[in-house]
Amino acid sequence: MIADPSMLWLVIASGVACFFMAFVTGANDIANTFSTSIGAKSLTIKKALLIAFFFEALGASLLGGTVTDSIRSKIINFEAFYNAPEFLMLGMFSALVGASLWLAIATCLGLPVSTTHSIVGALLGFGLSAGHADSIKWAKIQSIVISWFAAPLLAGSCSAIAFSTMRSLILRKKNSFEIIKKWYWILIFLITLPFSVFLVYQNPIVLNTKCRMKQGNKIVYASPCYLQDWSSGHVIYATLISITLSLLLTGIGSIFIYIVYNKRLKCYNFRKRLFEDQYMNDIEQNVKPNTTCNGNNSSLNSVASNETQIPRLRDQTNKGNNDNNEQIEVSKGELNNKSGTKNDIEQNVIETFDQDTEIVFATLQIISAILGVIAQSANDTANAIGPFAAVFNTYNSGIREKIKVQWYILLFGGLSMSLGLSILGYRVIKTVGMKLIKITPSRGFTIELISGLVVLFFSICGIPLSSTHCAVSSVIGLGLVEARIFENDKNGNTDKDVSNGQSNANNVAVKKRSLCPFSYLNTSCVNLKLFRTIFLSWIITVSFSGKD
């Protein structure tokens, strides 16, 4: 049944609400994609925004057109409103307003929450208030509640295991730079493979040929059909296409990474030599020719006392430890200058690695951020513009079993999300990328890789999942397996844990206890107070959005 033409005002109002929903989605959900890259200083905010504006619109336009069944049929049976399309349109408008209001509040507070759960809560509230509780699919709601616990545990555990493995096999080796130069293409393949699978199996591109596809337990023929439907009926061919596409992207990405990291290394080595020359000049200018090393000369003592005031390069800290993993170097300045509270992440002393190796990981984060924003925009676009597409299409052609989203609506959603990221995204970026743990390029790359793989796994299984939950949980899981840093006392014993920055010692050599990563958890490097607040916001997301 087609809606009353007089309801045009509701279509316009829903369009405005859709813009606001997409705006806050970009500021909250899409910000998670760049938070670790910016927190690790692999990307500047300006570069992240440039990537977002282009690839956000690209991902939304090419991959965001999946039929809106992913939003509507999993929570509410729209057929219950077949004879009242105007009421359905009003409900979709209300869902947009309720979900976007909660997202706006959470974003202003810097809390990363789930846009998927926000729109689910809003649709649930609409279904209950409309008196159609029997049309709500409670089994799906139950699976969402389970995902609150299953997804964080899986993402956090996998992130901890992955970082511990990479730390042992690569980062702590003396020749870590040579290792990563030789094998970085494998890491790129791990990024491109899930993206390629998503591109083939979840792509709504229409194939203008008759094709075989799978519907339930049956194989049927249809013309035209969607690429994602064709893939379900041609699993072997679709898998081969995914792998081939992944290898092609890996080759292109490897060439790009090689060029960029070599350019960055040259720039870094130039600054390093410049610093060393300036450092020696400062010493020569402050130390008189007749100065002795008996400790009584004031000019020499002045140079020594001002040593920490001269800008240091990052590689003045740890450059990796020896093969038996006994010693971990941290800078003298880091130990001396830390006097903050436990939850002040900037005060934490963490294990650092070879700077050349970190430069390679910083370059790899460009690839992971680009592919991450494409995949996430494709997923989150449905949350932002799905209800508006339902209103728009219901007004034009009535309630249908499936609704195809027009390309211009998808592009509108993608650009709106990019705008939201550029204006308000810094709040969530600071929370995830800078306030939960201290992030370096190697840590940030691990977080982005694992969270993406976990999202893909749950998506293939058909389990509703929040990419925000995975991203935050990956950050926490990695932080919990940070190496404990112990300070040497005057007798050479390593008995004082200074991971949280509580140290006034001059010793720069510290020792890590050689234990299994999971034999203890190092909570001193994680802002658990902030994480508790974030987790509470996850719990109330559905109820708050639904009440509005």
Q: pLDDT band for 146, please (50, 70, 90 cuts).
A: confident
Query: How many Å apart are CA 477 and CA 498, to the nearest integer?
Result: 20
Q: pLDDT band for 342, please (50, 70, 90 cuts).
A: very low
Give the count of beta carbons closer than 10 Å to the beta carbon of residue 345.
23
Q: What is the pLDDT of residue 486?
A: 54
Query: How many Å apart are CA 165 and CA 185, to the nearest integer?
Result: 17
HSE-CB at 521 with a 13 A cutoff on CA atoms is: 12
Q: What is the pLDDT of residue 256?
A: 92
Q: What is the pLDDT of residue 470?
A: 87
* Sign of the torsion formed by the C-alpha atoms of 105, 110, 115 and 121: negative
Q: pLDDT band for 73, please (50, 70, 90 cuts).
A: low
Q: What is the pLDDT of residue 149?
A: 78
Q: What is the pLDDT of residue 216?
A: 62
Q: Poorest-confidence range of 39-53, 370-384, 487-501?
A: 487-501
Residue among 13, 17, 25, 15 nearest 104 (CA): 25
Residue 188 has pLDDT above 60, yes or no: yes
Q: pLDDT band for 361, please (50, 70, 90 cuts).
A: very high
Query: How many Å apart are CA 361 and CA 359, to the nearest integer?
Result: 5
229 contacts: CB under 8 Å, gap ≥ 6: 211, 213, 214, 222
Q: Poorest-confidence range of 65-79, 120-134, 372-386?
A: 65-79
Residue among 373, 425, 433, 331 nearest 42 (CA): 433
Write down how long the chain is: 548
Residue type present at position 357: T
Question: Helices marked H in 73-114 — which ranges?
Answer: 85-108
Residue among 491, 504, 485, 492 nearest 335 (CA): 504
Q: Give the residue-averaged pLDDT of 142-163.
A: 84
Question: Which one is predicted more confidently, 77 or 500?
Answer: 77
Q: Give the residue-averaged pLDDT of 182-196.
A: 89
Q: What is the pLDDT of residue 267?
A: 87
Query: How many Å apart are CA 105 and CA 100, to the nearest integer?
Result: 9
Q: Give the residue-averaged pLDDT of 428-444.
A: 90
Q: For the chain, give the mean pLDDT.
A: 75
Q: Give the residue-averaged pLDDT of 526-544.
A: 86
Report how far apart, in Å, the C-alpha atoms of 341 and of each of 355, 495, 524, 525 are. Answer: 28, 20, 10, 11
Query: How many Å apart are CA 258 and CA 271, to the nearest integer?
Result: 20
Query: How many Å apart are CA 457 and CA 106, to the nearest integer?
Result: 27
Q: Poorest-confidence range of 367-371, 431-435, 495-499?
A: 495-499
Q: pLDDT band for 301, please (50, 70, 90 cuts).
A: very low
For strand 211-215 and strand 218-222, is the pairing parallel, antiparallel, or unpaired? antiparallel
Q: Give the residue-averaged pLDDT of 316-323.
A: 43
Query: How many Å apart are CA 447 and CA 163, to the nearest integer?
Result: 9
Q: Which of 14-18, 298-302, 422-426 has the highest mean pLDDT?
A: 14-18
Per DSSP, the three-state class of 225 is strand
Q: Give the residue-averaged pLDDT of 448-470.
A: 76
Residue among 277, 239, 278, 251 nearest 188 (CA): 251
Q: What is the pLDDT of residues 102-128, one digit of tens each?
A: 999 999 988 998 888 888 888 888 878
Q: pLDDT band for 310, please (50, 70, 90 cuts).
A: very low
Question: Which one is predicted more confidently, 546 or 161?
Answer: 161
Per DSSP, the three-state class of 451 is helix
Question: Which one is predicted more confidently, 332 or 130?
Answer: 130
Q: What is the pLDDT of residue 325?
A: 41
Residue 136 DSSP code: B
Question: Helices marked H in 202-234 — which ranges?
Answer: 227-233
Q: What is the pLDDT of residue 159?
A: 93
Query: How many Å apart are CA 256 and CA 248, to the nearest integer?
Result: 13
The answer to whether 86 and 72 have CB atoms below 8 angstroms apart is no
Residue 14 DSSP code: H
Query: How many Å apart are CA 120 and CA 543, to the nearest integer?
Result: 10
The answer to whether 428 and 107 have CB atoms below 8 angstroms apart is yes
Q: pLDDT band for 383, please (50, 70, 90 cuts).
A: confident
Q: What is the pLDDT of residues 229-239, one digit of tens each?
A: 677 777 888 88
Query: How many Å apart are CA 406 and CA 389, to the nearest integer?
Result: 8
Burial class from Cβ neighbours inside 10 Å (0-12, 13-18, 19+) for residue 545 reads buried
The answer to whether 541 and 117 have CB atoms below 8 angstroms apart is yes
Q: Quote the tokens at residue 208.
A: 């203008």
Residue 74 DSSP code: T
Query: How many Å apart are CA 83 and CA 394, to the nearest integer?
Result: 12
Question: Which one is predicted more confidently, 397 or 509?
Answer: 397
Q: pLDDT band for 368, please (50, 70, 90 cuts).
A: confident
Question: Which one is predicted more confidently, 518 or 201?
Answer: 201
Concatenated DSSP letters for 424-444?
A: HHHHHHHIIIIISS---HHHH
Question: Which one is predicted more confidently, 188 or 136?
Answer: 188
Q: Give the residue-averaged pLDDT of 515-539.
A: 78
Q: What is the pLDDT of residues 169-183, one digit of tens each?
A: 999 999 999 999 999
Q: What is the pLDDT of residue 272?
A: 79
Q: Poorest-confidence range of 229-233, 312-316, 541-545?
A: 312-316
Residue 222 has pLDDT above 90, yes or no: no
359 contacts: CB under 8 Å, gap ≥ 6: 261, 264, 265, 268, 441
Residue 82 has pLDDT above 80, yes or no: no
Q: pLDDT band for 449, please (50, 70, 90 cuts).
A: confident
